Amino acid sequence: MDNYLDLLNEPQRKAVEATEGPVMVIAGAGSGKTRVLTYRIAHLLNKGVDAFNILSLTFTNKAAKEMKERISSVVGHSEAKNLWMGTFHSVFARILRTEAPLLGYPSDFTIYDQQDAVSVMSKIITEMNLDKDIYKPKQVLGRISQYKNNLITVRAYMNNQTLIEADAEAMKPRMGDIYQAYVERCFKSGAMDFDDLLLRTNEILTRFPDVLSKYQERFKYIMVDEYQDTNHSQYLIVKALASRYENLCVVGDDAQSIYAFRGANIRNILSFQKDYPDAKLYPLEQNYRSSDTIVQAANNIISYNQDQLEKNVWTANDKGDKIAVYRALSDADEARYIASQIWERQISEHLQPKDFAILYRTNAQSRALEEALRKKGISYRVFGGTSFYQRKEIKDMVAYMRLLINQNDEEAFLRVVNYPARGIGQTTISKLLIAADQQKLTLFDLVDNITLLAPTIGINKGTALKLNDFILLIKRFQVMLKTHDVYEVTMEMAKATNFLNALKEDSTPEGISRLENVQELMNSIQGYVEEQQQLEDGDSSLSGFLENIALATDADNEDEDDNKVNLMTVHLAKGLEFPIVFIAGLEENLFPSMMAVNTRAELEEERRLFYVALTRAEKNAYFTYSVSRFRWGKIIDCEPSRFLEEVDDQFLSWKNLHIPTQRNNSGLSSDLFGDTPTSPSQSRSYPSEPRAKSVARQHPNANRPDPIKPKQNFKPIDQAKSASTSSANHLGLMIGQHVVHDRFGRGVVKDLQGDPSDMKAIIHFENAGEKKLLLNFAKLRIIS
DNA sequence: CCCCAACCGATTTTT
DNA sequence: TCGGTTGGGG
């Protein structure tokens, strides 16, 4: 494809062609910024720039992957494959694998996620004998995150009287000590949290000029997407790297800045031209995505914000339908309305499930929506919430894996040292922690010498033996990792640690689902190894896999069957688009959030969030709200969102104005709204107790027929499939049989090895070649 | 040391 | 209503 420039409009083309020097592209919603970025990179490559010299920072890994594919289709795969693309976190995690030893970290450092960090923090707060109600672990971490994102190290904090006083005033005079303890603890564990990935990168670039120089030469061309959502730490990294060549192109839209709560600094984009006085500015104002009504309504909304760059988003698209507004009586009613709209429009307009998205402010709102969709038999997928990798059984399994590559990882150690139970209790752990601290050893090193040290610590011989066994177990697999692939090692480990048996014993629906999740983890390891082996610069190591899952976001997960209605928070919907979008829960204290109505800045961010939500829609949007909602275990009354009033009525079509605004108990009722309590006033005449019950009856878990939680956003296990899997195992596979595998396709069984309870099959696949599969896990279907 | 029952807190958004 | 944590009994 050589005439790609013809596919662009005037400002887009200019932005693509301006490859040298600083460039800012202000891209209104739906104005084709991905297209600009893609062709800009393709253009660079066509001009002869080496792919190795291009760094492109995206907001999600999925965006990076998609962009890489699109570039491949323009310039060819061999050109595109060497591009550096990814999120800030994943790109710099990768660089830190090489450079972190400069700061004394192991190159196989662990990445602590939020859960790990909270767990570390809880321990610190307990150990320091501080009140957990004043020093709330999450809150404290949030504060530390702020410091880190502003490059305030422990030392800088200790010298900053203003900060110290602010914390003292906030009833937290020990913040400095906590901060120090937390940083030391992570360092000792060979671990970095998310903020460290950026902070330590900055530290290296500042302290080691030769390293900075290396990456400045390496990344001669830098592009940053969603620049409005970069924080100070990210800003400094970009600035440092770009300072030699200044071939920096940032793309963003100040109207879509929605991450201030985690440190995003809108000033980064607002003052780009101050940083780079000769920067060229290209505003993209033509929206190709949405109907005219949606574009205008969105402009109307955002005009209520004071802080913004001037721009005028317009579209040549048709006017389209008005935005439908539905006033529901309860959250269940709201969900039912949405589900039936989806159902009807699918049929009448030949739309598919994937054409619809339901967006909401908080993850908790998905419940009612899921229930309604399930009742109608509409397939859906929930993004976000507790992600797959945060599930307990997965975290446990991953903790074992983490220990293999970084034995000092204290969180991982503590997580699995007694799971499955091997007789190492809390008392022992406390003794170990104290001893490790005194002797300046890591837990692992301490326990590694436990036979010698046990008497001095006060641990009896039996317990010492158990501890020693644990260490030997881990060591055994560390050795195995050198000669076997990641999948085999993990599988063996899952068995040897009794991890699988412990799960198998639990025959409750939750237990079965847990086992299936572990199976799915195994599959994803296998998939990862396969995938990386096909890539020339692939990294099929265990640490590669762990890094991958630590930084994977929910938006990154791909579902093999993606023709489903999409449910997600507005935050997660950033960058996506859908023909029909429902924005649910437009109520005061929900959207805008109760926590964000106190300052103008907060409220403006909520409004931008609303703007983002609406501009996801291509063809048509719905606003829904309810007069009552099930929250915190009871029903509360709700007021419509102030944002609804801000939208000019000319863009709206009220769907059920016939419902009296005045609360009464008229019989709108059972046929329309089923078992929904008919009206709030009626509810008031009831004591609250029975009322709560009547709603509780329809709560998802109360009468859910199937035991497997469909809320899993990660490759939900197909029941039929797993049933046939197990029957295949029990019926016994035979040599010569034809089978189908989810990932590898059709194949023939060549050989069977091992005892019946743990059988391996050698299968020759038509497309994937010969594979050895563990029948306990491989999802096989026998076809002849 | 392990298991179970009672209790408390949660809901703003996420790399 | 849920899930995680804590404390007491076995």
Helix (H), strand (E), coil (C) string for A714-742: CCCCCHHHHHHHHHHHHHCCCCCCEEEEC
- CA–CA separation, A714 and A558 (whole Å): 8
- CA–CA separation, A127 and A130 (whole Å): 8
Place of tokens 């389209």: A320
A33 is in an annotated binding site: yes
Mean of the pLDDT values across residues A224-248? 94
- CA–CA separation, A250 and A228 (whole Å): 9
Find the nucleotide nearest A463 (Cα to C1′): B1
Q: Which residue is the nearest neighbor of B1, CA to C1'?
A: A425
* Per-residue flag: A70 CB under 7 A of strand C: no
Structure tokens at A410: 């204290």
Q: Is the pLDDT of residue A317 over 50?
A: yes
A166 is in an annotated binding site: no
What pLDDT, on the 0 to 100 scale, is given for residue A114?
87
Q: Which nucleotides of C are covered by protein (CB under 7 A)?
A: 1-2, 4
Weakest mean pLDDT among A67-71, A398-402, A552-556: A552-556
What pLDDT, on the 0 to 100 scale, is given for residue A655?
83
- CA–CA separation, A474 and A314 (whole Å): 61
Structure tokens at A491: 């599988």
* Per-residue flag: A392 CB under 7 A of strand C: yes
Higher pLDDT, residue A311 or A399: A399
**In the structure, how far is the CA atom of residue A451 from the C1' atom of nucleotide C1, in angstroms?**
48
Strand ranges for A606-680 from DSSP E: 617-626, 628-631, 634-637, 652-654
Mean of the pLDDT values across residues A700-716? 30
**In the structure, how far is the CA atom of residue A121 from the C1' atom of nucleotide B2, in angstroms?**
26
What pLDDT, on the 0 to 100 scale, is given for residue A341?
95
A32 is in an annotated binding site: yes
Mean of the pLDDT values across residues A71-94? 89
Higher pLDDT, residue A726 or A526: A526
What pLDDT, on the 0 to 100 scale, is given for residue A742?
57
Mean of the pLDDT values across residues A94-116? 93
Which residues, other chains included, contact A50 with Cβ-Cβ below 8 Å and sequence gap of 6+?
A82
Residues 469-498 of A with CB under 7 A from strand C: none
What pLDDT, on the 0 to 100 scale, is given for residue A165?
92
- CA–CA separation, A158 and A164 (whole Å): 7
Mean of the pLDDT values across residues A644-673? 60
Higher pLDDT, residue A238 or A721: A238
Closest CA to A92 of A243, A184, A194, A245: A194
**In the structure, how far is the CA atom of residue A631 from the C1' atom of nucleotide B10, in angstroms?**
10
Give yes or no for a contact between A57 and A235, defined as CB atoms under 8 angstroms apart: no
Most confidently predicted of A60-64, A688-692, A730-734:
A60-64
Give yes or no for a contact between A281 and A242, defined as CB atoms under 8 angstroms apart: no
What digits encode the pLDDT tens for the residues A33-52? Answer: 989 999 999 999 999 999 99
Q: Are strands A380-382 and A314-315 parallel, antiparallel or unpaired?
A: unpaired
- Count CB atoms within 10 A of the CB of residue A54: 24
Closest CA to A370 of A716, A744, A6: A716
Give yes or no for a contact between A748 and A763, defined as CB atoms under 8 angstroms apart: yes
Give yes or no for a contact between A151 and A202, defined as CB atoms under 8 angstroms apart: yes
**In the structure, how far is the CA atom of residue A423 from the C1' atom of nucleotide B2, in angstroms?**
9
Q: Is the pLDDT of residue A477 over 80?
A: yes
Q: To the nearest 10°, the Cα dihedral for A153, A157, A163, A164?
A: 140
Phi, psi torsion values for A331, nearest 5 degrees? -65, -35
- CA–CA separation, A569 and A607 (whole Å): 15
Left (φ > 0), alpha (ψ -120 to 50) or beta: where does A736 sit? left
What pLDDT, on the 0 to 100 scale, is given for residue A723?
31
What pLDDT, on the 0 to 100 scale, is given for residue A702?
31
Place of tokens 């260490």: A471
**In the structure, how far is the CA atom of residue A302 from the C1' atom of nucleotide C9, in angstroms?**
61
What pLDDT, on the 0 to 100 scale, is given for residue A533?
80
Closest CA to A563 of A776, A770, A380: A380
**In the structure, how far is the CA atom of residue A374 from the C1' atom of nucleotide C4, in angstroms?**
28
Q: Is the pLDDT of residue A679 over 70?
A: no
Q: Is the pLDDT of residue A674 over 60?
A: no
Q: Is the pLDDT of residue A237 over 80?
A: yes
A482 is in an annotated binding site: no
Q: Is the pLDDT of residue A324 over 90?
A: yes
Q: Which residue is the nearest neighbor of B13, CA to C1'?
A: A571
What digits encode the pLDDT tens for the residues A444-454? Answer: 999 999 888 88
* Per-residue flag: A693 CB under 7 A of strand C: yes
Mean of the pLDDT values across residues A375-400? 85
Give yes or no for a contact between A624 and A328, defined as CB atoms under 8 angstroms apart: yes
Q: Which residue is the nearest neighbor of B11, CA to C1'?
A: A364
Mean of the pLDDT values across residues A170-174? 85
At A204, the amino acid letter reads I
What digits encode the pLDDT tens for the residues A265-294? Answer: 888 888 898 999 999 999 999 999 999 999
Active site residues of A: 33-34, 225-226, 256, 616
**What letter does residue A483 receive in the DSSP assignment?**
H
Q: Is the pLDDT of residue A384 over 90?
A: no
- CA–CA separation, A495 and A489 (whole Å): 10
What pLDDT, on the 0 to 100 scale, is given for residue A346?
93
Q: To the nearest 10°, the Cα dihedral for A149, A155, A158, A162?
A: -40
**In the structure, how far is the CA atom of residue A598 from the C1' atom of nucleotide C5, in angstroms?**
33
- Count CB atoms within 10 A of the CB of residue A142: 13
Q: Are strands A84-86 and A314-315 parallel, antiparallel or unpaired?
A: unpaired
A694 is in an annotated binding site: no
* Per-residue flag: A699 CB under 7 A of strand C: yes
| A294 sits in which H/E element | helix A292-302
Give yes or no for a contact between A566 and A383, defined as CB atoms under 8 angstroms apart: yes
Which residues get their CB within 7 angstroms of nucleic chain B?
Answer: A 60, 87-90, 113-114, 133, 136, 194-195, 261-262, 361-364, 384, 418, 421-428, 463, 551, 553-555, 569, 571-572, 593-596, 631-633
Find the nucleotide nearest A701 (Cα to C1′): C1
* Per-residue flag: A702 CB under 7 A of strand C: yes
Find the nucleotide nearest A122 (Cα to C1′): C5
Place of tokens 């752990």: A429
A27 is in an annotated binding site: yes
A30 is in an annotated binding site: yes
Find the nucleotide nearest A697 (Cα to C1′): C1
What pLDDT, on the 0 to 100 scale, is given for residue A271?
86
A29 is in an annotated binding site: yes
* Per-residue flag: A633 CB under 7 A of strand C: yes
**In the structure, how far is the CA atom of residue A265 from the C1' atom of nucleotide B13, in angstroms?**
16
Q: Which nucleotides of B are covered by protein (CB under 7 A)?
A: 1-3, 9-15
pLDDT, mean over chain A: 82
What pLDDT, on the 0 to 100 scale, is given for residue A715?
31
